[in-house]
Each structure stands twice: as structure tokens, then as C-alpha cells.
Amino acid sequence: MHKEKLKIAVRKFGPFESAMQKAWERFCVYSGCDLRAELIPLDLHDLHKTTLKEQGLKNGDWDIAHINTDWLYEGYTGGAFEDLEPYIATDCHSDFPNGWTESLLKSQSFDKKIVGLPFHDGPECLVYRKDLFEDPAEQARYLKQYGKPLRAPETWTEFQQISRFFNRVEQNLYGSVFACYPDGHNTVFDFCLQLWSRGGSLVDKCNRVRILGQAAADGLEFYRHMVQDKTAVHPGSAAYDSVQAGAAFARGEAAMMINWFGFASVCEVDPTSQVKGKVEVALLPAVEGQRSMSLNVYWLYTLGSGSKHKQIAYDFIRFAVNEENDKQLTLEGGIGCRISTWRDKKINQIVPYYHKLEQLHEHAQTLPQKQNWANIAAIIDEMVLSALNSDLPTDKILAIAQDKIDAIDK
């Protein structure tokens, strides 16, 4: 048996792991590759640490890694990634970039270099229990209580009101569930959504991160009171990351959540889901008079600049993102990135709202590309957690965080 192996750092998530294993097995049959793949599932912090902070992609510890768009600029400026453009240019089997929308191609392009191919996507959206919202008895009760029809919330005020309406502790049903685990991602994304949906911006004209201003203050103030609302929110929210929040929703424990599209899709394909056929997605709420906003953070396959098996690694990446494997990822519970998958009839029979991905992308913003974004995100994460776990005034919390950001964002 061949002793050499291809080491792949995988974002820890069951559907990713199973889809990757199947793709590798098919690749070996297709290509005759005799390398052994070592697929290592890693949580967010460990994945970022081993691939970029400890330079695992650059020094050859990893051949391939799942990298999300938050970390791309850091990895690119640090020399972690192999440029895929020369491989693509001579690859007669590649259909890059025609298979994807522009929104999934921009972040990994630097100075005409391409440092990754799209693996998993699914913008943030409102995920809700359509069986509850469409129930005539619930509709009548809501109309009597609030004097308006029950519908998917279009404003944050409606979101909190409906969360309270569906919060039924005795039934193990909560109005909404959040992901507040401090990993530099979940609460950061939630803060950005609150900011953008109030007409605010995360950066100034000089591309420096600015979190002061009325939109930021109103957004953080609403978020702290929303998450702390025991009459509306799942009690596990403080300890949940996005995967765990999605799992709670799939168990039937929440009427709504603000989460990635992928966690809605999981509800339809996971055999353990308690809400199969009962889910719908919609645009995120906004304050009255403002446009709904979403966040587009996606995962890519990247090839380590220090890999000793670059051609084989590239061949596998290209194989793993073909139409068949992109569709298979979706059937496993991930979110394929290809337009062909979004429009696929079989996929839309299984996940009836899958075609809405194109609409969600039209409302999606991206985070600023900065070499030290992970450090800035950690400050924002700390800021939101301070709001959730202290009595400090919101304006004071924002000012403290802005001072810390200013010290490193120059």
C-alpha cells in the first residue's frame, strides 16, 4: 500500500464529512489515485489555528483545507494558498467560472490569482415553521391577540412579537433560537445583520471598521434585549454555535431562527429531523423603511502552498466541486454552490425552497477583507458578549470596542 497520504483539514460538520468521504472514494475510482486521504474534522478555532496561524497550509502540514471567506485575505497575504489559476487554465475539464454566480467568485480572487473553489454556501436567512404559521387556530389566536394577520416577520419588532407568541416552555417550543457561542463568528454575524438592516455600514470611506453611530447602537441594544428575552428565546442560545442552533430547530424546539440557509436544508434531508416538510425560508427582517439584508460567507477548497502533492490535490478539488458532487453535498445536508444545483428539480422536490438561494444572494453583503479580520472579529464578539452578560450601557460597550479596533485597524 502506498504510504504517502493527502491531508485535508475539514470543517467539522457531519454532512461535510460524509460528502467529502464519498467524493474522495469516487475520485480514487475515477482517477486511479493510490494516495490515502486523511480527512481531519476540525472546529472553527482549531481549523483557523492549524491552517493559518500555525502556517499549516504554507509549511506542508495540510495539502487541502476548508477555508471560509473571513480568513481568505489573511491566508492570501500570508502566502498560505497555491494560486489555482495556472491549473485551471490548463485543465480541459474545468468549467470555471461558468458554473457559479459572481457572488461566489469575488472573494477568492486577488490580483488575477484564484485561491479557492466554492465548496459550501447558503446566506443568512429567516428560517421558520410554516406548519405553525399556516395553522388556522394559530392564525386566529394571533389575530385576536395582536389585531393583525400572522405572517413571516418583516421587521425586528414583528420578529420579537412572534417569538413571544410561539414561546411555549411547557411544550419544549421556543419562539426563536440564536447562536451566541463565542467563536468569533456567530454573534459577529448577528451584529452585522442588525447594523446593516438599520441602514448602517461596518466600514468608513477609508475601509476602516467603524461600529459607532445610531444604527450600531440601536442594533446592539435590540440584540441584547432580544437574546435575553426569556419569554421569546431558547435557553440554550448562549451556548449554541450555528450548528447546534440549527440542530435545536430541527428537533422542533423553535418556531424561528436567524441562521444559514444550510440549516433549513438539513431539516429536509436529515433522517432524524422532526420538522421535515414543515419549514420555509424568507428574507431577514429589517427596521421599518430599510431594506432586508443578508450575509454571504462561504466555504472554499484551498490548496496549500506547501503541499507536496499539488497536482493531485488540485485534481481532487476540481473533482469535488463538479456538478455531481455539488449535488451530493446538498443531499448530505450541506449547500451546493453551483447554479445547476440550486435549480435542480430533484433538489427542489426534496427542499422546496432551494431555488430561493438566488434571491437571497441578491440581498447579501460580505465582510471586509482584512489581514487581521479574525482579530477584529474577536473584538466584536467580545463586545456583543459584554452586552449580553453585563449591565454596561450600550454606548459604553461600543466605545470600548471601537478603541480596541482602532488600535489594530490602521
Q: Hey, what domains does the chain have and what are their CATH numbers?
A: 5-121+298-365 (3.40.190.10), 124-295 (3.40.190.10)
Beta-bridged to residue 303, according to DSSP, are 64
In the DSSP assignment, the letter for residue 133 is H
Cell of 289: 423603511
3-state SS class at 180: coil
Cell of 22: 464519498
| Whether residue 248 has pLDDT greater than 70 | yes
One-letter amino acid at 80 equals: A
CA-wise closest residue to 21 among 1, 43, 6: 6
Q: Which residue has the cell 440557509?
A: 261
Choice between 2 and 290, residue whose per-residue pLDDT is larger: 290
- Phi, psi (degrees; rounded to nearest 5) at 172: 55, 35
pLDDT of residue 358: 85
- What's the chain's average pLDDT? 94
**Longest Cα pair distance anywhere in the chain, in angstroms?**
71
- 84-88: long-range contacts (C-beta < 8 A, 24 or more apart)? 84/114, 84/115, 84/116, 84/117, 84/303, 84/314, 84/317, 85/112, 85/113, 85/114, 87/311, 87/314, 87/318, 88/114
State the number of CA atoms in the 13 A half-sphere of 168 facing the CB.
9
Sign, CA dihedral 173-177-180-184, equals: positive
User: Are residues 154 and 286 in contact, defined by beta-carbon separation less than 8 angstroms?
Assistant: yes
Residue-wise pLDDT tens digits, 165-213: 999 999 999 999 999 998 888 899 999 999 999 999 999 999 999 999 9
> Where do we find the cell 481568505?
72
Write out pLDDT tens, residues 129-177: 999 999 999 999 999 999 999 999 999 999 999 999 999 999 999 999 9
β-pairing, 124-129 vs 254-260, is: antiparallel
The predicted structure's pLDDT at residue 93: 80
pLDDT digit string, tens, across residues 60-69: 999 999 999 9
Grid coordinates of 380: 466584536
Q: What is the three-class DSSP state of 15?
A: helix
Number of H helices and number of E strands within the chain?
19, 13
Respond yes or no on whether the N-terminal peptide bond of residue 393 is cis (omega within 30° of 0).
Answer: no
CA 107, 96, 323, 301 dihedral sign is negative
Average pLDDT on 94-111 reads 90
Strand partners, 124: 260
pLDDT band at 3 (very low <50, low <70, confident <90, very high): low
Residue 185's pLDDT is 83
Distance (Å) of CA 283 to CA 103, 153, 286, 292, 350: 17, 9, 9, 6, 21
Q: Quickly count: other Cβ atoms within 10 Å of residue 231's Cβ.
A: 12
The partner residues of 155 in beta bridges, in order of sequence, read 286
